[in-house]
Amino acid sequence: MNHQASTTVGSIKRPKLTQEEQALQKEWKKYDDMIQQIKQAKCYLDKGGPEELEQLITKWRTIAQKVAEELLGVFNEQKELFTVETSWDYWGDEESIFMEENTDLDEHEKPDEEDDPMVQMLTRLKINPEVIHYSAETNSFYD
């Protein structure tokens, strides 16, 4: 007689799955998860698509510009609070990494920290001025 081991789930007795059945079940779940992700992505695209994403980016940038303007007042009064050494995530090399990222700029394009307090603040906060559309040349935000 061939007796197959079984497991009890709740009050239902189920035969124990073979390795092949377990592998198939695992693969089934993987594909089911992928289908769910695709359905979710399609739902997001159907809701708003790229236009909505552009609107959200513009909204975020506008808010970031307003925050930067308000923060500039605090920065001008208390510059010591904005040093890399006092930031919560200081590991000792972030400033050099940030500066390395800007090495592809020409000398005339590099922002002069001494002349523009906004660029100085953004640099100390490790924020690229271009991300929030700030121009060091005009000392203002742009669209």
On whether residue 35 sits in a domain, the answer given is: yes
Closest CA to 64 of 126, 120, 124, 134: 134
Tell me if residue 14 falls in helix, strand or coil: strand
Is 23 found in the same domain as 42? yes
Q: pLDDT digit string (tens) for 28-44?
A: 999 999 999 999 888 87
Residue-averaged pLDDT of the chain: 77
Q: 107 CB contacts (<8 Å, ≥6 apart)?
A: none
Is 56 found in the same domain as 38? no
Distance, in Å, from the CA atom of 104 to the CA atom of 53, rounded to the nearest integer, reads 29
Is 75 found in the same domain as 59? yes
Is 27 found in the same domain as 78? no
Percentage of the chain modeled with pLDDT above 90: 36
Is 40 found in the same domain as 22? yes
Number of structural domains (the chain) is: 2
Is 60 found in the same domain as 75? yes
Q: Is 126 left (phi over 0), alpha (psi -120 to 50) or beta?
A: left
Domain membership of residue 80 as a residue range:
51-84+115-142
